[in-house]
């Protein structure tokens, strides 16, 4: 194992400047300083394969891979080659480029249950367009989203359901209701409470564990019986559970589905796909209903991002990417679980999720979920060259990376075990990380007053 990483001088300098210029210091809440230990890299300089380097020159094996957006690996050669070739011809035009059709054909060949697709830049655009389309198609105003799934959109229809709902009008918040995953009765009760008002149910097909047998099909039947649509958010499950998404694993064809993240291997590309009867409302060839202003983004069809998407989908279609994700994830789970058992912390530190998309759960000595212990674990693996807010692997995580990670985790869990015995505060440097959905920030302590002599 490499020597411990302790120096983040340049990261610390630049993150202070970032917070002065950028609210939150970054552009995705999951990447914020409040999600990481004090001893952590604040600024990443570059990545290659499953490795990244911070601005201080420290090297890490990365997991999470850009919040699951990089399925093949950083700077994957085939994807970069395709994007560079497209860029050399210009990236944005006043009329459509033929690559828009080519990407649509490739996507619909892969996700065979969908009949039409429209591309955009991020997951929020896709899910919010799906919500608008469902409302227009059904003539209803309410949306039901799954309370057990953490994120669907930055837009008001979803953020209004979270504690961070400042700025969302009360009238908007009242139009979204929530239900429990895997509990059909929870959905029935919403239809009973709001008869004739719910346009769609939106949920992820899975967060890790498989849904109860037949649940997704039963939920879709219930939706259709009550005049609503079923929308599957495949941002995470797409290109991980199966190259055609979790819908292919579970044998369900949703009315609408949303893909993103790994679709472009890190390039900004997402997709709204679905049945022609519904999607056509956003087109030019229907006149029996009012038009739906579906998706209109200046940068939604940038040629280099679509080229990256095509190249990414071709790799998934041709190579055993999905099998590799499952295999390496399984090795990681088994090795870490063995280590947790050896250090007698298995009741307090658990690897969770599907092998292709692993995470971990941390508890204190009372068995309660603990941000402090999560922060300690992150701190200790970062010190040992592992950057892992989750344990999500890519196609470029080889056996050597898995072995080195297990070795680093083993050392971190030894510290975790001591912290359970004598107190996490004795091992954690600085404050613990925070949950994203909190209504208020912690008060920021003022800087110390120094005299002229000092």
The torsion angle over the Cα atoms of residues 29, 31, 37 and 40, rounded to 10 degrees, is: -160
Collapsing DSSP states into helix, strand and coil, what is residue 39?
Answer: coil
| 162 Cβ contact list (under 8 Å, min separation 6) | 437
Quote the pLDDT of residue 1. 47
Q: Which residue has the higher pLDDT, 400 or 294?
A: 400
Quote the pLDDT of residue 393. 98
Report the range of poorest mean pLDDT among 3-7, 321-325, 400-404, 442-446.
442-446
Mean pLDDT confidence for 362-372: 96
CA 178 vs CA 46, 189, 381: distances in Å: 40, 11, 36
Is a pLDDT exceeding 90 seen at residue 100? yes
Phi/psi at 52 (5° precision): -135, 160
The domain in which residue 20 lies consists of 9-75+320-426
Whether 263 and 164 share a structural domain: yes
Nearest alpha-carbon partner for 393 in 137, 70, 154 = 70
Report the range of poorest mean pLDDT among 192-201, 224-233, 276-285, 416-425.
276-285
Where are the alpha helices (H) located in 111-155, listed in sequence order? 123-138
Whether 221 and 344 share a structural domain: no
Supply the pTM of this predicted model: 0.92
CA separation for the pair 183, 177 (Å, rounded): 15
Whether 39 and 149 share a structural domain: no
Strand partners, 49: 74
Write out the H or E segment, with its range, that includes residue 183.
none
CA gyration radius, the chain? 23
The total domain count for the chain is 2
Mean pLDDT confidence for 77-88: 98
Whether 241 and 110 share a structural domain: yes
Answer whether residue 372 is part of any domain. yes
pLDDT tens digits for 407-444? 999 999 999 999 999 999 999 998 888 877 678 787 65
Mean pLDDT confidence for 133-142: 97
Whether 123 and 65 share a structural domain: no
Report the range of poorest mean pLDDT among 18-27, 95-104, 165-174.
18-27
Quote the pLDDT of residue 444. 55
Compute the mean pLDDT over every residue in the chain, rounded to the nearest whole number: 93
Strand partners, 53: 46, 59
Quote the pLDDT of residue 453. 41
Whether 183 and 328 share a structural domain: no
Whether 229 and 108 share a structural domain: yes
Cα–chain center distance at 81? 25
Q: What is the CATH number of the domain that holds 211?
A: 3.40.640.10
Whether 271 and 382 share a structural domain: no
Quote the pLDDT of residue 2. 57
Quote the pLDDT of residue 305. 97
Whether 187 and 60 share a structural domain: no
pLDDT tens digits for 30-69? 888 888 898 999 999 999 999 999 999 999 999 989 999 9
pLDDT band (50, 70, 90) for residue 282: very high
pLDDT tens digits for 153-174? 999 999 999 999 999 999 999 9
- CA–CA–CA angle 20, 25, 28 (5° rounding): 155
pLDDT band (50, 70, 90) for residue 107: very high
Structure tokens at 109: 């060949």
CA separation for the pair 408, 403 (Å, rounded): 9
Where are the alpha helices (H) located in 258-320, listed in sequence order? 276-279, 303-318
pLDDT band (50, 70, 90) for residue 328: very high
Whether 130 and 277 share a structural domain: yes
Is a pLDDT exceeding 50 seen at residue 258? yes
CA separation for the pair 65, 74 (Å, rounded): 8
Q: What is the CATH number of the domain that holds 42?
A: 3.90.1150.10
Answer whether residue 1 is part of any domain. no
Is a pLDDT exceeding 90 seen at residue 181? yes
Mean pLDDT confidence for 76-85: 98
């Amino acid at each position: 194992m490499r020597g411990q990483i302790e120096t983040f001088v340049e990261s610390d300098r630049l993150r202070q400047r970032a917070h002065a210029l950028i609210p939150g210091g970054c552009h995705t809440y999951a990447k914020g300083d409040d999600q990481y230990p004090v001893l952590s890299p604040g600024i990443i300089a570059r990545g290659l394969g499953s490795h990244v380097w911070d601005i201080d020159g420290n090297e890490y094996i990365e997991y999470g891979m850009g919040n699951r957006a990089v399925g093949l690996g950083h700077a994957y050669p085939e994807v970069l080659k395709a994007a560079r070739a497209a860029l050399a011809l210009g990236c944005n035009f006043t009329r459509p480029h033929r690559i828009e059709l080519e990407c649509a054909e490739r996507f619909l060949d892969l996700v065979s249950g969908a009949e039409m697709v429209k591309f955009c830049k991020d997951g929020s655009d896709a899910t919010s367009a799906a919500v608008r389309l469902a409302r227009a198609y059904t003539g209803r105003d309410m949306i039901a989203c799954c309370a057990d799934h953490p994120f669907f959109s930055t837009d008001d229809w979803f953020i209004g359901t979270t504690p961070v709902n400042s700025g969302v009008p009360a009238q908007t918040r009242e139009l979204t209701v929530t239900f429990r995953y895997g509990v059909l009765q929870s959905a029935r009760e919403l239809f009973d409470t709001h008869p004739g008002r719910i346009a769609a149910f939106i949920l992820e097909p899975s967060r890790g564990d498989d849904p109860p047998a037949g649940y997704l099909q039963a939920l879709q039947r219930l939706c259709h019986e009550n005049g609503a649509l079923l929308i599957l958010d495949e941002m995470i499950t797409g290109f991980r559970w199966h190259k055609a998404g979790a819908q292919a694993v579970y044998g369900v064809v949703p009315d609408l589905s949303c893909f993103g993240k790994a679709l472009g291997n890190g390039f900004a590309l997402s997709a709204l796909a679905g049945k022609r009867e519904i999607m056509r409302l956003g087109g030019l060839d229907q006149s029996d209903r009012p038009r739906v202003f579906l998706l209109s983004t200046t940068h939604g069809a940038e040629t280099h991002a679509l080229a990256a998407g095509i190249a990414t989908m071709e790799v998934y279609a041709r190579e055993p990417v999905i099998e590799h994700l499952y295999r390496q994830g399984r090795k990681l789970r088994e090795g870490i679980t063995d280590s947790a058992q050896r250090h007698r912390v298995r009741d307090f530190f658990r690897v969770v999720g599907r092998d292709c998309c692993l995470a971990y759960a941390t508890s204190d000595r009372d068995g309660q979920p603990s941000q402090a212990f999560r922060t300690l674990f992150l701190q200790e693996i970062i010190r040992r060259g592992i950057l892992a807010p989750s344990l999500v692997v890519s196609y470029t995580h080889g056996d050597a990376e898995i072995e080195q990670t297990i070795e680093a985790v083993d050392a971190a869990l030894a510290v975790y075990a001591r912290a359970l015995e004598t107190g996490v505060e004795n091992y954690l440097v600085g404050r613990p990380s925070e949950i994203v959905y909190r209504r208020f920030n912690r008060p920021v302590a003022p800087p110390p007053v120094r005299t002229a002599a000092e």
